[in-house]
Structures are given as structure tokens and as C-alpha cells.
Copies of this chain bind each other. A is one copy, B any other.
Amino acid sequence: MAQNETEHWQQLAAQLRIDSIRCTTKAGSGHPSSAMSGADFMAVLMAKYLKYDWNNPDNPNNDSLIFSKGHACPLLYAAYKAAGAISDDEMMTLREIGSRIEGHPTPDIPWVEAATGSLGQGLPIGVGDAISGKYLDKLPFRTWVICGDSEMAEGSMWEAFALASHYELNNLIAIIDVNRLGQRGETMLGWDTGTYVERALAFGWSAIEINGHDVDEIDEAFSMAMDSDRPTCIVARTEKGHGFKEIADKPAWHGKPLSAEQAEVAIKEISDAVGGMPNLLIQVNAPDDAQPQSTPSTGDGKMPAYKLGEKIATRQAYGDAIQVIGASDPAVVVLDAEVSNSTFAETMKKAAPDRFFEIFIAEQQMISTATGLQNRKKKVFCSTFAAFYARAYDQIRMGAISQANLKLCGSHAGVSIGEDGPSQMALEDLSMMRSVFGSTVLYPSDATSTAALVNTMKDLDGISFLRSTREKTPVLYEDGEEFPIGGSKTVRSSDNDVATFIGAGITLHESIKAAETLQAAGTNVRVIDLYSVKPIDVQTIAKAAKETRHLVVVEDHWAQGGLGDAVLAALAQAQTEGVLDGEASKFTHLCVREMPHSGKPDELLDAAGISARHIIAAVS
């Protein structure tokens, strides 16, 4: 029996290699050699260990299978074919336009949870799946992550190692495919598998060193991993291009398909080694039939009411809203990167402590954890200082490709944070977030609008970002006021406005002060609260341009990519759509143009030229 099982696995591995070659040779590009190194452990995993219902990718009991080394996806597609999930014909459309069988995996394929291809992200995402399984759904599924050895140089992998051991994720199994060769030569550690093991152990994991081409050793390792009391790292020594001597362990074969002639030779060599051309259709184990644990709702979801004029920081209103929705919606999960007392995410510890996870100072891992959790249908809010999302921009970018729903709050934006200085001041966050595919970018100015927008974000698709402010600002809106995405609020207007001030966050308050001073001197100015930066309220901006002929955009952000650029793009769109006439309006852009320093918030707003005094000067 064992002999038969061994042969079965070997035949399946041969098939996976052959199919990886076939589809990449047909495509004329792709990574067959990186697929071939992992064929043996994928064969054993698919045939014996994985539990997956291909007909129901949303089954909460399904294992997670994540190709952190996304470029090895021909192996994944070959495995899908072997499991009967896709046809051979579809597999052979690899990399063709219109095919979901892409050059790197994306969730256009229903069994792909998250896009990979930017290395070092699959394992961190797996941590999110595993947290969901262990602490939230409390289901026995496992998370299997196929890692490359090259990507072990990415710090994000070690953030994942650290967090997985902190949360004792014994349902997480990482296989490192140590094929020694990166894209342009040997990896940092080559075949020094012992060092991988030492590092994994030092980070609190179990670690098992195996010959990655010996299916019985693989079987034994998987079996041990299933019973481990901690996350397990299987360090598999493999050969890149294994199975075809002409390319095996040869450095020049990264990301290069075989020619048709070479492919023929390779397929013969691989099939001969297992006694003939394999043509296996395997039955992957069905998942368990358990129900995810459900937590009861413990609140009515009623947003906090604030008194007009009361001074409350929008970051505090974020916390107030999180406390309400965290209690009332059991799908809400909150993550924070070790600053929850500053971002006010700590309110979740009161509302639902079992759905708050401390990620420590590891912003990349925070985003990846969220991507994993939302794979498991959680509504995940993340928070840190807005400046530090720059640390995770690649994860956020990939989140958009993963079709992930991520709800991000960035506090402490702009020079108005004061004394801590420029390292802590987000001045590029709006630009960064506007440039994410399909994103929603929100920048409320008071507590009422912040709470309302956080509530809206909860059920929003895609990546949404809310910028909050450190300083206390007066409440502008009454309880119950609505703040639709893509809207704005015209907080002051008259029939004879000579200009329009457009601000958000702290600069809206400076704009209001400026308008009040001007009005006292007999000059009327319109003021728009641009709380929705993307999508933007084109109609209201166009109307203001037409009626007042001078737009003054004021923002606590660099000149590029923020409110100013967003308003100009809105004007251009209005023009194209014929909403605006052919007369150009005057445009003044007040923003941060010099490197700020430490100082008091008011001093810094003034030094940057975005205080009320400067706004007044723009129309004087």
C-alpha cells in the first residue's frame, strides 16, 4: 500500500511537472523551473492532506492554499487540473488575454484567495487566514503556504514568522521550496537549509528539514505538521527544474519556458521515470462540515451623537465609531500596529476584545493579516499613523489586485500633529491612497462625519482609507446628517461669493475661520468640506467654479496627489462632460511646500502657509 501510495504521488508529481512545462511552452513565457521544484510536495499535499471543496470556494471549512511564490503558478494550475477543477484546455490558455489563468495568480480564479507575485506576501496573508480559523471561526481548516527561498530575504516574511508564533498558529504550515536559485543566481543562503531551520526555530516555529523530492519524507513532514502545537515550517531542499536534467539546478533557467523541442525531450524524460505518461484525476479530500462560531451582536449600532461646537479629535470619533460597530456587527475585526491608544482603536478592546488583534509595529503584516481575514469574510479595520501606511504600500497595492476589502484609518496626518516632526507627519498619504485601484479616500473634518463615514466603510467594497486628525476640532454637523461617498458639504455659501475655499480635516476649520473674518469685513466666500476625496463631488466643485470663479484649495499635504490634484481632475472632467463652460477659473493651491519641522500645531500650519491668515491673503 505504502509502495502504491508512493508511486501514485510520484506519478502525480510527474504529471504536475509535465503540465507546468506544457502550458508555459505553449504560452512562450512563464516559470516552469520554479514550478518543477515544488511538484513533489504539491502532489502529496493535493493527494493526501489538502481539504477543499472545489464546487464551493466559499465553504468556511476549506483549507487555504496560498502560493506565496506566485510565479510558480503553473504548478498551481496543473494541480487544479489534476483535481478536476479546471480542464486541460483551460490550463493551456495560460497568460493569454481574456484567460483567468494569468501569469501570477489572482482571485479571478475562485480558489485563489489573494493575488501573489509581489514576493513575501503570501505567508503574511496566510497568518490572517490562520488567525480567523483559530480565534474567530474556530474551524479546523489549515492554511498551507508555498514559499520560495528567494522571498525569505523579504522582511515581511519575518513579520509573519514572528506574529504567527505570537498567536501560536499551529494551523499554519509553510513549505519553503529551497531550490537554491533566484532570478539572477544563487539566493543569499543557497542550499544552507540548516540556517532556514535555525531561523524558523528562533522565531518560535516547528521546523522540519526534508528532501523535497522524496514523497515519503514529504508525507512524514506533513503528518508531523498536522499535529504540531505551533506553526510549522517545512524546509524542502529541492532542485529548480527537477526532473529534466538539461535544466535542473542550472542558473540560467529562471522565468524561461522550454522550446517545443526541449519540452518534448523533458516530457519523455519525466514520464519515462514513472513508467509512462501519467493522466491522473485525483479526489481531493472534502472539508469538514462544521459551522463557524458566531458571536452575538451586543449593541444597537447607534452612532455616538456629538454636540455642535464641541471639540473632539476625529481620531477619537474613529474610536467611538469602532466601539459601536465592533459591538453590533460580529463580522468586524480591528487590527492596530502598536499605537491603539493614539489611533483610538483601543475602544475595540472594550467592545469586543476577542476581535481586536495587536499586530505590533509591523505595518506590512497588519495589511496582510487584514487581507487574510477578509478572505474569511471578516470586515477588517486597520489603524496606525497615516504616515506609516507608506510602509505597507506594496501590500495595499496588491490588496487591490486581490480584490480585498480593507478598511484603513490613518491618524496624525499633516503638519498639524506638531512637535513630533516630519517623520510622523503623513504628507503623501492622500496621494498614495488615491492611486490605489478602486480605492475610496475619505478625510472628514469633524466627529459626526467621521463616525458616519466609519459606519459606511464597514460595508464598503474595495480599499477604503480614512484620514483622521490628531488635534481637536469643533463638531460641525448634527447627529443624523448623512455623508454619502462621493459627496461634499457646502458649509457656507451666498449669492455673491467671490471665491470658494475647499478644505478637509484641519484646513476646513482654517477655511471657515478665514471666511468668517472675510465676511465680517464684507466679503462673502463659499466653503466646501471635501470629506470624500475619491470619489469626488464633481458637480459641486464645478458649480462653485462657475459661480465664484476662484477656487482656493487648502490642504495639509504635499502639493502632489492630494486635494489640489483631485480638484483639478474634477474640473477637467466637468469640462469634458460639458458641465463647465469654456472660461477657466482662477485656482489657488495652498499646501505644504517646504519640509516641516517640530513646532506647535498652529505655528506649523502658519509656517506651511495653510492657516486662516494665508487663506484670507489668497483672495485679498
Contacts and interface: CB of A to CB of B under 8 A. Distances in A.
Contacts of A185: 358
A140 interface: no
A458 B183 CA distance: 27
Contact of A432 (B104, B358, B398, B431): B431
A422 to B, nearest CB: 5
By CB atoms of chain B within 10 A, which of A99, A151, A202, A438 has the most? A202
A201 B201 CA distance: 11
Given A401-B422, A401-B423, A390 B393 contact: yes
Contacts of A187: 360
A361 B182 contact: yes
Interface in A133-168: 150-151, 153-159, 162-163, 166
Interface in A547-595: 558-561, 564-566, 568-569, 571-572, 575-576, 580-584, 586-589, 595
Given A117-B421, A423-B118, A572-B568, A360 B434 contact: no
A114 to B, nearest CB: 11
Interface stretch (A58-66, A279-287, A335-343): A335-343
Interface stretch (A292-300, A374-382, A600-608): A600-608
A400 interface: yes
A30 interface: yes
A394 interface: yes
A258 to B, nearest CB: 16
A419 B166 CA distance: 39
Contacts of A388: 118, 394
B156 A361 contact: no
B117 A342 contact: no
Given A184-B340, A388-B394, A423-B70, A597 B29 contact: no
Given A183-B342, A560-B565, A155 B188 contact: no
Contact of A423 (B115, B363, B583, B603): B115
Contacts of A401: 422-423, 595
Given A29-B419, A201-B202, A569-B568, A153 B360 contact: yes
Contact of A158 (B155, B166, B184): B155
Contacts of A99: 597-598
A198 interface: yes
A420 interface: yes
Contacts of A595: 400-401, 437-438
Nearest to A420: B103
Interface string A77-115: 000000000000000000111110011101010000001
A319 interface: no
A53 interface: no
A451 interface: no
Contacts of A597: 97-99, 102, 106, 108
Contacts of A432: 393, 428, 431-432, 435
A34 interface: no
A587 B570 CA distance: 11
A119 interface: yes
Contacts of A204: 195
25 contacts: A95-B421, A103-B419, A103-B424, A103-B598, A104-B424, A118-B391, A150-B338, A153-B360, A154-B155, A154-B361, A155-B155, A182-B338, A184-B346, A387-B394, A398-B423, A401-B422, A401-B423, A428-B436, A431-B432, A435-B558, A569-B589, A572-B587, A576-B587, A582-B583, A584-B584
Given A97-B597, A106-B421, 7 more contacts: A30-B419, A103-B421, A115-B423, A154-B362, A199-B202, A572-B589, A576-B588
